[in-house]
Chains A and B, each alone.
Chain A
Amino acid sequence: MTLLSIDHLTVQFATRGEPFTAVSNAALTVEPGQIHGLVGESGAGKSTIGAAIMGLLEGTGRISDGLIELNESKISGVDEAAMRDIRGSRISMIFQDPLTSLNPLFTIGEQLIETMVEHLDLNASEAKRRAIELLNRVGIPDPKTRIDQYPHQFSGGMRQRVVIALALCSEPEIIIADEPTTALDVSIQAQVLELIKELARERQVGVILITHDMGVIAETTDVVTVMYGGNIVETGPTEQVLGDPQHDYTRSLIAAVPRANRKVHRFPKLSYDGRQTDFAIEELARNWPKQEAPDGPLLKIEGITKRFVEKRSIFPSQRRMFTAVDDVSFEIRPGEVFGLVGESGSGKSTIARMIAGLYQVDKGEVYFDDIAVSHAGLDELATYRRQIQMIFQDPFSSLNPRHRVDAIVAEPALHLGVIPKDQINERVSELLERLGLGAEAGSKYPHQFSGGQRQRIAIARALATQPRFLICDEPTSALDVSIQAQILNILKDLQEYLGLTMLFISHDLPVVRQMCDRVGVLRNGQLVEVAETATLFSEPKNDYTRELLSLMPKTDLLSSQDLATAV
């Protein structure tokens, strides 16, 4: 029996001009106990489908055509009062960010009981008993005490468990989970997904799992629907769609997913969506200065430590410090890409910022070539700054929105005096050209570009000073997977053709596998293991490394037919 069925669903948003069609002609079904994955890149319309089912479309959005049925009764186009009877009681929803999904001023018990009393025929004390049971079931320890606590007293992972309990407490038939683990660390992500899987089986609830992450799809779902640009391009059993994708888009998407078990030379260049562009890093090599490689390492970190003030006080005894980076040492050889992995709060970005000179080093020293960075004189510091550059995580925040692209790209080179003013335009347009943006991109502003294009502008800015060393701080974690593949290809070119040395920071092990020659694993500010990448993935020595590797979503299901062509 089909629990939920959607047929020829079209959702439109009224805009200044023509209405924008976010979803067109979509169809899918969900069975009891089944997890149905909805996957696609940003703008694919997957969240819009979720909101349309709930009758919670934002702004000017409306269902312009189509039929949504729950247990064979129509729920699309019904009035708000009827919808409210369905929402919560028959369909529940889990949002992405557990930190903002709970009302901070009410205890979790109050929020649970309120929802249960609303939907089930229960009195308050009965509801409380059930709430405690449920909290116990979703894995909250000591639920009797914790039910009277406020959301801020729970950690992120625990809060997402509370959110799941809230979604379940009214005993719904369908749960729509919109990116339920995107805001969580890998280790917690695995636990939460496991919980959703168990509960779906146990209670025969249908789940629509909306995500951009192929790994999550492969791990969790029974059926998958792939969306692109508001259209459903392919749907079927997860194993079949991932293992033998039929549609060009699905194939390109799957080929762009980095694998932990296999290193590709370059990601295949697939031109399905027209978002791929040609770049020509090798052309840049002609005017690139040849620098003599030092005999030893290019960058040497010796016992660096960074403490942050956690609680300020005028009394020294009341101050609390937090050690973000604790006595870390490693070396990066010329021409090598060195990876640093770790979960959030492990100190990896802090290390990058200390190397970049954005944070003071509390203890220890950073050596670049012959320069001791934290004790460098002004001249040495200027030399150092010309030779290192950084690529940041979020291309939407790393470019000043009020500056033109040519000014953004030119600023480092001009400020550091690497190039005379009259030659800067030439260099800027060459860089923009080679990175596939076109020289005319210089006269535009950042908001006129997409995320991937912005990241290429950021790369152009970093290359303008012709540096030797590049710090990449999660350079692709804010990007869609096909764009990520493109940026990773560019970075690989930079290493191969320009001989750049890189520090590559990421929380994503498969990405690290693709990019890095050697990897260091960080935990709570300490470096627990350093090894050649292939060795680290095949024979991890440290327990924590082993745990991290075991928590990676499995990508074995994913087809590798297009990877061969690119090797």
Chain B
Amino acid sequence: MDAIRRAWQSDFSWSFRRSPVAVVSLAVVLLLVLSAVLAPLIAPHNPFDPASLNLMNGFSKPMEPNAFTGDTFWLGTDDQGRDVFSTILYGMRISLFVGFVAVLFALVLGVSLGLIAGYVGGWTETIIMRIADVQLTFPAILVAMLIFGIAKGITPVHMRDEMAIWVLIIAIGLSDWVQFARVVRGATLVEKNKEYVQAARLIGRGSGAIMLRHILPNVLSPVLVIATISLALAIIAEATLSFLGVGAPPTQPSLGTLIRIGQGFLFSGEWWIILFPAVTLLALALSVNMLGDWLRDALNPKLR
């Protein structure tokens, strides 16, 4: 109880409550994540259950009864009669899943390598940071595409669709670790010279214990900021790859896949098939980005 009260009264929480932007974006993020997680309960249809589909419902406009069946769909239907609202909820599941897991992967990899590079120094540091520098020269999205392309070449044809999501996660995760490693290394170099680390070395604490128990907790706040911004980037990267047709397969459409599909109908007047997934994607990326932006300012007050 006491801890909760203290957390509520902390400057961090105070500046959060004072910032309408932060409160609204957190609310939007939570709403979107929750509705994605609860998609099977919320969605009026299961868009991937062929039995529930009626081709006659195809191209229903939003909020208007279908001319043939009289069914009404909030956000309309696509060419196959799938409810756009339901496909968005399920698509968001894929987008968020890929985003979260890819960022987690990048975070674990980047933070570990950054800690080791910063604390151990010497050749270990040189090698890790050289690799990071070189990879940084290559834009993340390109690295992700390459990894995707290679993985596609390696995996047998019949498994490609199944593997696609995991390949996507690894591709995005591998393309994103550098940011974490660089920031954690920088922070570690600062922390390593602080006297509390010397005090721990003095009593003979091992390198592992010092890195995990002493340094790691002190370098986490920039990691939190990067993780948030990376989540937005990963969601966008996933959408981009899927849009380009090198990401989530049509059998497991993410928001990007939905936009790719919808693009074909935009010019023939069925605007809702692309508009609603696009707006959802923008809302998701924007609210996560705003949260990250606020976090950066809140955790680093001198930057305001």
Q: Interface on B for A, CB 8 Å cutoff?
A: 11, 14, 194-196, 198-205, 214, 217-218
Contact = CB atoms under 8 A, between A and B. Distances in A.
Interface in A380-404: 381-382, 385, 388-390, 392-394, 397-403
Of the listed residues B11, B195, B218, the one surrounded by the most CB atoms of chain A closer than 10 A to its CB is B195
Given A389-B202, A398-B199, 9 more contacts: A357-B201, A357-B202, A357-B204, A397-B195, A397-B196, A398-B198, A400-B214, A400-B218, A415-B205
B202 A16 contact: no
B173 to A, nearest CB: 27
A412 B203 contact: yes
Interface residues of A, number: 28
Contact of A390 (B14, B199, B217, B218): B199
Given A397-B196, A398-B196, A400-B196, A358 B202 contact: yes
27 contacts: A16-B14, A353-B198, A356-B202, A357-B204, A358-B198, A358-B202, A381-B204, A382-B204, A385-B202, A390-B199, A390-B202, A392-B195, A392-B199, A393-B195, A397-B196, A398-B195, A398-B198, A398-B199, A399-B196, A400-B218, A411-B200, A412-B202, A415-B203, A415-B204, A415-B205, A458-B199, A461-B199
Contacts of B204: 357, 381-382, 385, 415-416
A424 B11 CA distance: 33
A424 B200 CA distance: 18
Contact of A416 (B14, B195, B196, B203): B203
Interface in A392-450: 392-394, 397-403, 411-412, 415-416
Nearest to B302: A59
Given A16-B14, A402-B218, A394 B195 contact: yes
Nearest to B216: A402
Contacts of B214: 400, 403
A372 to B, nearest CB: 17
A226 to B, nearest CB: 31
Q: Classify the secondary structure of B's interface with A.
A: helix
Contacts of A397: 194-196
Nearest to A402: B217
Contact of A392 (B14, B198, B205): B198
Contacts of A382: 204
B213 to A, nearest CB: 8
Contacts of B11: 16
B292 to A, nearest CB: 22
A458 B200 CA distance: 12
Nearest to B215: A400
A309 to B, nearest CB: 11
For the complex of A and B, the 7 pairs showing the least CB-CB separation, nearest first, are A398-B195, A402-B217, A392-B195, A397-B194, A400-B196, A412-B203, A397-B195
Contact of B203 (A385, A400, A401, A458): A385
A279 to B, nearest CB: 21
Interface string A349-390: 000010011100000000000000000000001100100111
Contacts of A388: 202
Contacts of A389: 202
Interface of A: 16, 353, 356-358, 381-382, 385, 388-390, 392-394, 397-403, 411-412, 415-416, 458, 461, 465
Nearest to A414: B203
A385 B206 CA distance: 14
B1 to A, nearest CB: 15
Contacts of A402: 217-218
B200 to A, nearest CB: 7
Contacts of A415: 203-205
Nearest to B199: A398
Nearest to B220: A402
A347 to B, nearest CB: 17
Contacts of A458: 199
A369 B148 CA distance: 64
Nearest to A473: B195
Contacts of B202: 356-358, 385, 388-390, 412
A398 B205 CA distance: 15
Contacts of B217: 400, 402-403
Contacts of A411: 200, 203
Nearest to A407: B213
Contacts of B218: 400-402
A15 to B, nearest CB: 10
A349 to B, nearest CB: 10
Contacts of B200: 400, 411
A307 to B, nearest CB: 17
A91 to B, nearest CB: 27
Contacts of B198: 353, 356, 358, 390, 392, 398
Contacts of A412: 199, 202-203
A412 B201 CA distance: 10
A229 B195 CA distance: 29
A385 B201 CA distance: 10
A457 to B, nearest CB: 11
A405 to B, nearest CB: 12
A415 B201 CA distance: 11
A42 B199 CA distance: 26
A259 B217 CA distance: 43
B201 A358 contact: yes
Nearest to A458: B199
Nearest to A462: B199
B15 to A, nearest CB: 9
A465 B202 CA distance: 12
Residue in B11, B194, B200, B205 whose Cβ sees the most chain A Cβ within 10 Å? B194
A403 B200 CA distance: 12
Contacts of A416: 203-204
Nearest to A353: B198
Contacts of B201: 357-358
A380 to B, nearest CB: 12
A403 B195 CA distance: 14
A20 to B, nearest CB: 14
A388 B201 CA distance: 13
A353 B202 CA distance: 9
A382 to B, nearest CB: 7
Contacts of B199: 390, 392, 398, 412, 458, 461
A398 B200 CA distance: 10
Contacts of A392: 195, 198-199
A494 B202 CA distance: 20
A357 B205 CA distance: 12
Nearest to B14: A16
Nearest to B196: A400
A91 B201 CA distance: 49
